[in-house]
Amino acid sequence: MKKIYCFLMLVMITSSFAQEVETQSEQFKPYHSISGLLSHTMIKDGISEGKTEWITFPSFAFDYNFVFSPKWRIGLHNDVIFEDFIVENKDGNELERSEPFATVLVGGFKPGKHFTFEAGMGYELAKEENLFLTRFGTEYAVELPHEWEFIVNLVYDIKWDAYDSFAFGIGVSRSFGK
């Protein structure tokens, strides 16, 4: 009798958790978001006056995300640096970049309420040469009224066989279809 009682209690507890999870997933509705960020992009291997040094440029990011679960999203993140510059690539040669535009397909994981961790691949496009890149980043968001969020992000781009860069941005995001 004790075994049957324990089994029934286990079934009841498990089913109550299953109903709770079902209710939470029923409450979530997938939605879209767009973000605009003002950023600074920092490059370690920049060439200025014939010397290799850190260089920093203003940049702008425009991101689109489709949030398909409370913890997961996929997006297209785009940014542009509004300057021409020269960097030293990984072979030690000079590489010119004219207002490069990066577009990256990213996946995002949001383990809690504020932070999202992102990774993805894409291209940096410039008139001289297009570069394949891998991006890793994190974003911190604070909810504002009317489906808006204040966001701060930090991304690290690895341009294969060329150079790496960091970008730090601040901006806003707007959600649609929640």
pLDDT in tens, 37-81: 999 999 988 888 888 889 999 999 999 999 999 999 999 999 999
User: What letter does residue 69 receive in the DSSP assignment?
Assistant: S
Residues 6+ apart with CB under 8 A from 110: 70, 71, 72, 73, 116, 117
Cα–Cα distance measured from residue 165 to residue 157, given in angstroms and rounded to the nearest whole number: 5
Which amino acid belongs to residue 158? I
Q: Is the per-residue pLDDT at 114 higher than 80?
A: yes
Task: Give me the mean pLDDT over the 22-33 stretch.
Answer: 76
Q: Provide the H-helix boundaries in the chain.
A: 2-27
Question: What is the rounded average pLDDT for all residues in the chain?
Answer: 87
Q: What are phi and psi of 111, to 5 degrees?
A: -75, -25
Residues in the chain: 178
- What is the pLDDT, as a whole number, of residue 8? 47
Q: What percent of the chain has pLDDT over 70?
A: 85
Domain 28-176 in this protein, CATH class: mainly beta
Cα–Cα distance measured from residue 60 to residue 78, given in angstroms and rounded to the nearest whole number: 8
- What is the pLDDT, as a whole number, of residue 51? 84
Cα–Cα distance measured from residue 96 to residue 103, given in angstroms and rounded to the nearest whole number: 19
User: What letter does residue 126 receive in the DSSP assignment?
Assistant: -
